[in-house]
Amino acid sequence: MTQEVIKMGKRGTLVVPAMLRQQYGLDEGVLVITETRDDGILLKPATAVPTEIYTPQRKAEFLLSTAVDADDYQSARQEVEKLGIDPDTVPHHKPEGV
């Protein structure tokens, strides 16, 4: 466990020692999570994961490609049609036997 004393700057800024920044990949602009503890504050590197926005076409592809049998596939086709999309125009994988 490493301990260093650092000085609080204006507006609450802290300068994390270079050794710790390098060890934990804390470059400028990196997100950091703060967590309150009984004995102080814990700082942890955060990971931001891009979020995919599902378009109706992508939803249709997912519905059709995840069908497990012929009945499920027919239900998926009906759901895709409710989205206003022709299932035959959507690139997807059909379940075996369909």
pLDDT above 90 coverage of the chain, percent: 70
Q: How far apart are the first and last CA of the chain?
A: 60
Q: Tell me, what's the pLDDT at 1?
A: 75
Q: Tell me, what's the pLDDT at 74?
A: 96
Question: Token digits for 52?
Answer: 């995919």
Tens digit of each residue's pLDDT (9 = 90 or more) over 43-64: 999 988 888 899 999 999 999 9
In this predicted structure, the answer to whether residue 2 has a pLDDT above a threshold of 80 is no
Record the pTM. 0.51
Q: What are the domain boundaries of the chain?
A: 10-45, 56-89
Nearest to 2 by CA among 68, 79, 16: 16
